[in-house]
Amino acid sequence: MAIVVVGGNSRNIGKTSVVASLIARLPELHWTAFKITQYGHGFCTADGKPCACQAEEACVAITPERDSASGTDSSRFLSAGAARSFWVRTRIGMLAEAMLRVSEVIESSENCILESNSVLDFLTPDLYLTVLDPSVADFKDSARRLLSRADAILVPTHDGAPALIPDLAAIAGKPILSISPPEFLSDAVVEFVRLRLAATGTARG
């Protein structure tokens, strides 16, 4: 089984689109997809807005997506062709508990793709891609801390031109691949993922 993680330096920079596009472009891998959302103090870490994802009945909730047209991120994964899609909601500081339950789903899957930075504290994926958009000033602590673990840096284009990458020691020598809206993906990224997973020999399907 292959495990791919997609993270990024901030919100609204194309992470969900990257996940959905990889699912669509590599359908033979029969993905199980996860959207990880953490909440606390009334605000959601996914978008910084007053929190609507808090599970009233528990501090951890894992919801299988059933509707591919609901408009949620997890429904986008299902619409893109994921075999299964889950929305994982957890209070800040309780991701470890959530990951115990996520691991059970992972074990019953062919291949998995997760949108999150913080899951890297609890698993070692076969491939970690991070979206880095220098035009966005915000830089999540988790993204900065885990940047050195990225296998490739995905940089969104703006007006057709790649953004200028800051001189960060953590990304020295790493592949830097351009991604373009609205899909926020490219043939080069798809081929990179395909070749890396083939090299590990972990992917099923």
Question: Quick one: CA dihedral 88, 94, 100, 106, positive or negative?
Answer: positive
Q: Angle at which helices 15-25 and 73-80 pack, to 10 degrees?
A: 20
Least confident residue range of 35-49, 53-67, 177-191: 35-49
Note the pLDDT of residue 56. Answer: 47
Q: What is the mean pLDDT of the chain?
A: 88
| Average of per-residue pLDDT across 54-79 | 82
Return the SS3 of 116: coil
**Which of the two residues, 49 and 152, has the higher pLDDT score?**
152
What percentage of the chain exceeds 90 in pLDDT?
63
Return the SS3 of 142: helix
Note the pLDDT of residue 51. Answer: 53
Where do the domains of the chain lie, and which CATH numbers do they carry? 3-200 (3.40.50.300)
Least confident residue range of 71-85, 147-161, 182-196: 147-161
If pLDDT is split at 50, 70 and 90, which confidence band does 163 have? low
What is the C-alpha to C-alpha distance for residues 199 and 126, in angstroms, rounded to an integer? 10
Note the pLDDT of residue 81. Answer: 97
Instruction: Please determine, for residue 39, whether its predicted confidence score (pLDDT) is greater than 50.
Output: yes
Write the pLDDT tens digit of every residue in 101-117.
Answer: 999 999 999 999 999 99
Q: Residue 56 CA to chain centroid, in angstroms?
A: 25
**Which of the two residues, 52 and 188, has the higher pLDDT score?**
188
Tokens of 75: 């429904």
| Average of per-residue pLDDT across 142-147 | 90
What is the C-alpha to C-alpha distance for residues 96 and 82, in angstroms, rounded to an integer? 25
Global pTM? 0.88
Note the pLDDT of residue 53. Answer: 53
| Average of per-residue pLDDT across 12-16 | 94
Note the pLDDT of residue 164. Answer: 66
Instruction: Please determine, for residue 24, whether its predicted confidence score (pLDDT) is greater than 50.
Output: yes
Cβ of 103: how many Cβ atoms within 10 Å? 11
Note the pLDDT of residue 46. Answer: 47
| Average of per-residue pLDDT across 117-142 | 92
What is the C-alpha to C-alpha distance for residues 171 and 39, in angstroms, rounded to an integer? 29
